[in-house]
Amino acid sequence: MAVLWLDEISAGDLEKVGGKGASLGELTGAGLPVPPGFVVTAGTYRSFIEDAEIDEELFEAVEVDVDDSSALATAADRAQELILETPFPDDLREEILASYREVGNGEAFVAVRSSATAEDLPDASFAGQQETFLNVTEGALLDRVRECWASLFTQRAIYYRQEQGFDHSAVNIAVVVQQMVDAEKSGVMFTSHPSTGDPTMIIEAAWGLGEAVVSGAVSPDNYVVPRNDDEIDVTVAEKKVMHEKDEETGETVEREVPADKRNARVLSDDEIDTLVELGERVEDHYDTPQDVEWAIIDGDVYMLQSRPITTIDEGGSGAEAPGASGAVNAAKGVTDGSGSGGTQAASGGGGGSSASSGDVIVDGLGSSPGTVSGAAQIVLKLDDLDKVKEGDIIVTEMTMPDMVPAMKRASGIITDEGGMTSHAAIVSRELGVPAIVGTTNATTVLEDGQIVTLDGDKGAVLEGQKVEPDEETEPVEEVRPQSPVKPMTATEVKVNVSIPEAAERAAATGADGVGLLRTEHMILSLNQTPANYIEENGENAYITELVEGIRGVADEFYPRPVRVRTLDAPTDEFRQLEGGEDEPKEHNPMLGYRGIRRSLDRPDVFAHELEAFRRLYEMGYDNVEIMFPLVNDAEDIYQAKRLMEEAGIDPAKRKWGAMIETPASALSVEGMAEAGIDFASFGTNDLTQYTLAVDRNNEHVADRFDELHPSILKLIGTVIETCREHDVETSICGQAGSKPEMVQFLVDEGVSSISANIDAVRDVQHEVKRTEQKLLLDSVR
């Protein structure tokens, strides 16, 4: 038998029908309302490749070095071609089509979903990597089944299996063919609290097909239902889009939600009751809390999928975000048990702890929160980095990209120079290491081995050890929301990433995507200028570095969007690198040869960056967006767009945009909108320095660096207004996006998204929600 009907399948059939098929079969058998259908078994896929004698060639084709992106692309193409070009044997064709005709009298629209046999297993989360097709009818069914099989060999799937140590030939794939539910509303339900296991159901619901909720395309309503009959807590979200079947083509399309339904509550009390009852049945059936996908049509509730919740902490506190995996950064600090969650104390590291006298011996700008005690290590040259041991506090003039490994070991960082947007400030925040910048004198006042306490909130360095080692914390855990239910906001809240190592920590925040991925930190950490690196290693190696760096972040967030900025490093930073002696000498690098002006001046070099994007798109990373830095006007945009086209990237198909970092760009945004940008993102670090003429890295004028200056707010307000008129999204990715006052201002003005520092995401989510609710209240009062 090539197919098995859902009512013939139970949980034990995982090897035959994959995780999804087994779960649907089990639910059907338990009498739960599952749309009818069948599974083309994993054995059928296996016989298909073996009978056609393409199996050996297939597995050989995908044995490649997955870090070689062009070899990976060739392997994926070849493997997929082998499957897609092999015809169906007649008996198999007939059996599948005959089964289809039994579903809905042969006229049914069906969903065709891959169900890999390794999917949904612990530590092998391939979920979402294989194809799913909706609204399929007889004519296309067989092709879709074959495409599901071929999706076992996309570049991402091959890469993942190799990385996770799975043998390609040991992974099989079944295909579920199931009657479509043209959902009027749909969503997900946790049958118990996903963090604590408490008897509280959490339901998320939106209009239309569930894909919009699962993929994150829409912010759903949120219903928290205590099972002890307490009041339901309802948060109604603004639901901008919905997925539904196009009546003419039968295809699934994304549409705007009609105005009257956008802010309307999706679920009635009766529907919630029905869902809760089903939730209880499914939880009883499995005897463990479940994460359920459901849909409602004509008042009937269907269950589309159910999986055990894996995030409940047996210890009763905290939760691992769904999908979070991999190694966390080594613990460097321990909490002092007295203050905020972010407060840390280093475990010493210099011996001889003395009680703190409490005297402030150095002060500066608190640029990364937390309090730590440890031994100071003065780093004046790169050779000094070796003396930085786990738990020490680095004291330096200014951090450099090659200090990042030592910064990870350190428990704190203190610099003489720099402002809140300097390298030290940005990187330490991303690493979750407390830091103080711009002290002017730390390297002269502090001594090697001296035990000090660094208060990264107040910007003060105190004599002696003030915080006692207590309980270990990990930077990833600090940013993980304690409640699994993130505040539902209409304004998206994203996160900034500058070093790929921070991607896991960034993703753990539950942010809606990455609003800024700075590529220059990837390049600077090569320790060679791009020209020098290319000369020694070749163009392909350089492109591969970019592809790999971006891919790490794009994977961590997929399918949430990742906005990647093209290179923007000033010449003084490039000069520190090998090959940097060829960089132009500039009196004021901040006003010089950087950002898009450099890229447009050297299209041959820029072409490598664009090629990296093209390869990522080819690999299926459709969540990657392109952002151009330091543009001034529409002319910059037209030129960049032309270079994108020349590089084989279709600007109409991809999401791309520009940063607003100069007053000129703010005043020219209308022309940029006409040139086709999809979004404009405020880089307030630069916008502030160029509007106020305050060097952002100069500690002597740091007190004048005011991102909330009325002139800057005026520029921002005008840009948001113009962009709204032209349907261009707006966002902020400068440091000021983490400040509550700026968040309030932006939400009031109607910004589309806010991208915050990793450690600020949670507070920004709450601030956005508070401001949105105030706006709603004001409008009805």
What is the number of alpha carbons within 13 Å of residue 660 lying toward its C-beta? 30
Query: Judged by CB under 6 A, does residue 589 bind ligand PEP?
Result: no
* C-alpha R_g of the chain: 27
Q: Which is nearer to ligand PEP, 219 or 731 (CB)?
A: 731
Q: Interacting stretch for ligand PEP, rule CB under 6 A, among 32-40, 76-84, 455-463, 680-688?
A: 680-688
Active site residue 423: yes
Closer of 504 and 568 to Mg ion (Cβ) = 568
Q: Token digits for 399? A: 């951090």
Distance separating alpha carbons of residues 214 and 220, to the nearest angstrom: 10
Residue type at 662?
T
The nearer residue to ligand PEP, 419 or 530, going by C-beta atoms, is 419
| Residue 733, contacted partner among Mg ion, ligand PEP, none, CB below 5-8 A by kind | ligand PEP
Q: What is the 3-state secondary structure (H, E, C) of 248-304?
A: CCCCEEEEECCHHHHCCCCCCHHHHHHHHHHHHHHHHHHCCCEEEEEEEECCEEEEE
**Closest separation between CB of residue 175 and ligand PEP, Å?**
45
Beta carbon nearer to ligand PEP, 373 or 684: 684
Rounded Cα distance, 328 and 348, in Å: 21
Of 6 and 596, nearer to Mg ion (C-beta) is 596
Report, in Å, the least distance between residue 516 CB and ligand PEP: 6
Pairing of strands 333-335, 471-473: antiparallel
User: At closest approach, how far in Å is the CB of 424 from ligand PEP?
Assistant: 13
Chain-centroid distance, C-alpha 237: 21
Compute the least distance from the CB of residue 571 to Mg ion, in Å. 15
Which tokens hold the place of 321? 């975000």
Burial label, 247 (beta-carbon count in 10 A; 0-12, 13-18, 19+): exposed
Nearer residue to Mg ion within complex by CB, 283 or 661: 661
Partner from ligand PEP, Mg ion, none binding residue 478, C-beta < 5-8 Å depending on class:
none
The 3-state secondary structure of 500-515, one letter per residue: HHHHHHHHHCCCCCEE
Cα angle 105-107-112, degrees, rounded to a multiple of 5: 105
Interface map 218-257 toward Mg ion (x if CB under 5 A): ----------------------------------------
Nearer residue to ligand PEP within complex by CB, 450 or 496: 496
Residue 518 binds ligand PEP (CB under 6 A): yes
Least distance (Å) between residue 550 CB and ligand PEP: 16
User: Residue 93: what are its φ and ψ, rounded to 5°?
Assistant: -55, -50
The DSSP string of 525-546 is TTTB-HHHHHHHH-HHHHHHHH
Q: What residue 553 binds from Mg ion, ligand PEP, none (CB within 5 to 8 A, per partner kind)?
A: none
Place of tokens 């995982």: 14
User: Annotated catalytic, 733?
Assistant: yes
Chain-centre distance for alpha carbon 288: 29
Within 734-753, which residues bind ligand PEP (CB under 6 A)?
A: 734
CB 578 within 8 A of CB 534: no
Least separation in angstroms between CB 570 and ligand PEP: 9
SS3 355: strand
**Which of ligand PEP, Mg ion, none does 222 bind, CB closer than 5 to 8 A by kind?**
none
User: Which range in 21-29, 401-409, 546-554, 679-687 contacts ligand PEP by CB under 6 A?
Assistant: 679-687
Q: Which residues have a Cβ under 8 Å from the Cβ of 571 and sit 6 or more positions away?
A: 583, 584, 585, 586, 589, 592, 593, 594
Determine which residue in the list 23, 28, 162, 685 makes contact with ligand PEP, applying CB under 6 A. Answer: 685
Cβ of residue 732: shortest distance to ligand PEP, in angstroms? 8
Number of residues this chain uses to bind ligand PEP (CB under 6 A) = 11
174 contact, one of Mg ion, ligand PEP, none, CB 5-8 Å limit per kind:
none
607: CB partners within 8 A, 6+ apart: 643, 646, 647
User: Which one of Mg ion, ligand PEP, none is in contact with 421 (Cβ closer than 5 to 8 A by kind)?
Assistant: ligand PEP
Least separation in angstroms between residue 443's CB and ligand PEP is: 24
Binding segment for ligand PEP among 172-180, 246-254, 524-532, 678-686 (CB under 6 A)? 678-686
* Contacts for 340 with CB less than 8 Å, ≥ 6 apart: 369
DSSP state of 488: P
* Closer of 609 and 686 to ligand PEP (Cβ): 686
Nearer to ligand PEP, 235 or 498 (CB): 498
Distances in whole angstroms, Cα of residue 570 to Cα of each of 114, 373, 583, 607: 47, 34, 10, 19
Q: Which of 61, 733, 751, 756 binds ligand PEP (CB under 6 A)?
A: 733
Using CB under 6 A as the binding rule, whether residue 516 contacts ligand PEP is answered as yes
Bridge partners of 378, per DSSP, are 395
Give me the 530-569 binding string for ligand PEP, x by CB under 6 A, dash otherwise: --------------------------------------x-
Peptide bond into 559 cis (omega under 30): yes
The site map against Mg ion for 676-715 (x = CB under 5 A) is -------x--x-----------------------------
Question: What is the footprint of ligand PEP within residues 641-670 (CB under 6 A)?
Answer: 661
Phi, psi (rounded to 5 degrees) for 241: -125, 160
Q: Does 684 bind ligand PEP (CB under 6 A)?
A: yes
Per-residue H/E/C for 60-114: HHCCCCCCCHHHHHHHHHHHHHHHHCCCCCHHHHHHHHHHHHHHHHHCCCEEEEE
From ligand PEP, Mg ion, none, which one binds at residue 636 (CB under 5 to 8 Å depending on kind)? none
Which residues fall within 8 angstroms of residue 455, CB to CB, at 6 or more apart? 366, 371, 434, 436, 461, 462
- Kindly tell me which of 41 and 735 has the beta carbon lying closer to ligand PEP: 735
Q: Does 13 bind Mg ion (CB under 5 A)?
A: no
Give me the least distance between CB of 753 and ligand PEP, in Å please: 14
> Which residue in the list 168, 193, 423, 521 is annotated as catalytic?
423
Please state the separation of Cα 355 from the chain's center in Å.
Answer: 43
Look at residue 367 and give the partner it binds from Mg ion, ligand PEP, none, a contact being a CB closer than 5 to 8 Å depending on partner kind. Answer: none
Q: 289 or 734: whose CB is closer to ligand PEP?
A: 734
Are the CB atoms for 608 and 530 separated by under 8 Å?
yes
Q: Which is nearer to ligand PEP, 335 or 684 (CB)?
A: 684
Candidate residues 683, 746, 758, 759; the one interacting with ligand PEP per rule CB under 6 A? 683
Q: Rounded CA gap, 454 and 399, in Å? A: 17
Residue 680 Cβ vs ligand PEP, minimum distance, rounded to whole Å: 13
Interface positions, 623-662, toward Mg ion (CB under 5 A):
661
Whose CA is closest to 631, among 565, 697, 695, 716? 565
Of the listed pieces 48-56, 283-291, 638-646, 683-691, which binds ligand PEP according to CB under 6 A?
A: 683-691
Listed residue (96, 64, 98, 92) closest to 79, CA to CA: 64
> Is residue 415 classed as helix, strand or coil in its secondary structure?
strand
CB 229 to Mg ion: min, Å: 53
**Tokens at 443, concatenated:** 């390297």
Which entry of ligand PEP, Mg ion, none binds 515, CB below 5 to 8 A by partner kind? Answer: none
421 binds ligand PEP per the rule CB under 6 A:
yes
Least Å distance between CB 755 and ligand PEP?
9
243, 521, 723, 733: the catalytic one is: 733
User: What are the residue numbers of the active site?
Assistant: 423, 733
Residues of this chain that bind Mg ion (CB under 5 A): 661, 683, 686
Residues of this chain that bind ligand PEP (CB under 6 A): 421, 516, 518, 568, 661, 683-686, 733-734
